A and B are shown apart, each in its own frame.
Chain A
Amino acid sequence: MKSESLWYIFINASLINNFVLAYFLGICPFLGVSGKMETASKMGGAVTFVMIISSMCAYGLHALLTAINAPFLQLISYIVVIASTVQLVEMFIKKMSPALFRALGIFLPLITTNCAILGLALFQTNKGYGFVESFVYALGAGTGFTFALILMAGLREQLNFAEVPNLVKGTALTLLIAGILSLSFMGFAGLGS
């Protein structure tokens, strides 16, 4: 994988193949916590942190599992690592900022079942990234996720002042906006290659 420069990996993960808008990973928090700008950016930060840690661990685990010839344990060990990282972050946030802890609510433990994180670990294994590449890939994916979340939150804050028919309110409207966002992200294709 020497042909891909680190810069390209970053741009690819954050913009061209944005995890939320092109791969549909992490849709649940994307729809759930994108109501407010502040919560959205902090959620993005937490997810990015978990992504980086679990991506590093996944790299080590993959090497270990290949060494002991047990690839069928891949999924189980990845999910355990992610779950424990999330537990750690949860305790950290609870201690540091109880207000943020309440704002994130159920979505904090749900980071465990955020497909973006497991997806990231699986993709980097499939692509055969090395240690540094994995780190950059995780950083890019986290940035892309945060970026999408913040964009969405900004739009939804504006929408609060708009008159919307009752029928469209809620998830349907959010999905429509996500569709338009996804369309505009297609414009990034070809960037950085």
Chain B
Amino acid sequence: MLNKTKDKAETGFLASLKDSPSTDEFIKGLWRENPVFVQVLGMCPTLAVSNTAGNAMAMGLATTFVLLMSNMLVSSLRNFIPKQVRIASYILIIASFVTVTDYMIQAISVDLHKALGAFISLIVVNCLILGRAEAFASKNTIGKSFLDALGMGLGFTFALLCLGAVRELVGNGSLFGYALLPGSYQEWVVMILPAGGFFTLAIWLLLFNGFKAKSQKA
């Protein structure tokens, strides 16, 4: 139900993207079925580590990596895992990849590992990853699962960045650690604190809802 003039204005590139089903698996996670804004999945890390844009980015990429690997493995094993123990097997697969990621981040940057703390390990219980394994990877081919995971992961990273950027800019006057606002700016410390996370996410959800309501009316 998009605006008609907007449809016409779309270039051939975008139109061709929409027609091909495999790219659609990729695109849907970014916007239409965005894991955070639309499906409201994976809230805990979203709120907890989005106090700075840098942390949000690192968390998003780590989650994307785990999502990609677990989706591909689940998809390739989908004919071998008995139905009764599938959830347990998925969790084991995810936990293994999270352990790998945990040690990898520790090797790359100890500071980052400290900043993210237990939340790297907590990727295991991110509903988004188990949700994708159960809802998509267990029924689709490896290629499709790869694209789905990539789209969902990047959509998740995008949402985390949206939150992290706003919270860091308003609460600390900086972005990715670089001071952007003049020194006379009075920081809203509350935005970095837990309460700010709830408020920022609520406002983003409102914006998203408003946008959706508008495009449905048009």
Please tell me if the beta carbons of A83 and B88 are within 8 angstroms of each other in the complex. Answer: yes
Given contacts A112-B91, A179-B195, contact A24 B206 (CB under 8 A): no
A11 lies within 8 A of chain B by Cβ:
no
Please tell me if the beta carbons of A172 and B43 are within 8 angstroms of each other in the complex. Answer: no
Q: Binary interface profile of A, 2-38, with partner B (CB < 8 Å = 1, else 0)? A: 0000000000000000000111111110010000000
A175 lies within 8 A of chain B by Cβ:
yes
A: interface residue count bin: 35 or more
Given contacts A113-B127, A175-B205, A182-B195, contact A27 B92 (CB under 8 A): no
Please tell me if the beta carbons of B44 and A31 are within 8 angstroms of each other in the complex. Answer: no
**A118 to B122 alpha-carbon distance, docked (Å):** 7
B218 lies within 8 A of chain A by Cβ:
no
Which of A76, A115, A168 is B95 in contact with, Cβ under 8 Å?
Answer: A76
**A87 to B124 alpha-carbon distance, docked (Å):** 18
Please tell me if the beta carbons of B125 and A114 are within 8 angstroms of each other in the complex. Answer: yes
Please tell me if the beta carbons of B88 and A28 are within 8 angstroms of each other in the complex. Answer: no
Given contacts A76-B92, A110-B127, A175-B205, contact A24 B44 (CB under 8 A): yes
Given contacts A27-B43, A167-B209, A172-B209, contact A83 B122 (CB under 8 A): no
Least Cβ distance of B207 to chain A in Å?
A: 9
A63 lies within 8 A of chain B by Cβ:
no
A164 lies within 8 A of chain B by Cβ:
no
- Output the nearest chain B residue to A168 by Cβ-Cβ distance: B206
A56 lies within 8 A of chain B by Cβ:
no
Q: Which of A129-155 contact B (CB under 8 A)?
A: none
- CB-defined contacts of B196 to chain A, threshold 8 Å: 179
Please tell me if the beta carbons of B202 and A118 are within 8 angstroms of each other in the complex. Answer: no
**A183 to B189 alpha-carbon distance, docked (Å):** 12
Given contacts A75-B99, A83-B91, A182-B194, contact A167 B122 (CB under 8 A): no
- CB-defined contacts of B130 to chain A, threshold 8 Å: 113
Please tell me if the beta carbons of B95 and A24 are within 8 angstroms of each other in the complex. Answer: no
Please tell me if the beta carbons of A123 and B198 are within 8 angstroms of each other in the complex. Answer: no
Which of B44, B122, B198 is A176 in contact with, Cβ under 8 Å?
Answer: B198
Please tell me if the beta carbons of A21 and B194 are within 8 angstroms of each other in the complex. Answer: yes
Least Cβ distance of B37 to chain A in Å?
A: 10
**A161 to B202 alpha-carbon distance, docked (Å):** 21
Given contacts A24-B44, A119-B118, A175-B198, contact A75 B102 (CB under 8 A): yes
Which residues of chain B have a CB within 8 Å of any CB of chain A?
A: 40-41, 43-45, 47-48, 87-88, 91-92, 95-96, 98-99, 102-103, 118, 121-122, 124-127, 130, 190, 193-199, 201-202, 205-206, 209-210, 213
Which residues of chain A have a CB within 8 Å of any CB of chain B?
A: 21-28, 31, 72, 74-76, 79-80, 83, 109-110, 112-115, 118-119, 122-123, 126, 166-168, 171-173, 175-176, 178-180, 182-183, 186
User: Can you offer 5 A-B residue contacts whose CB atoms are under 8 A?
Assistant: A28-B127, A83-B88, A112-B125, A122-B121, A173-B202
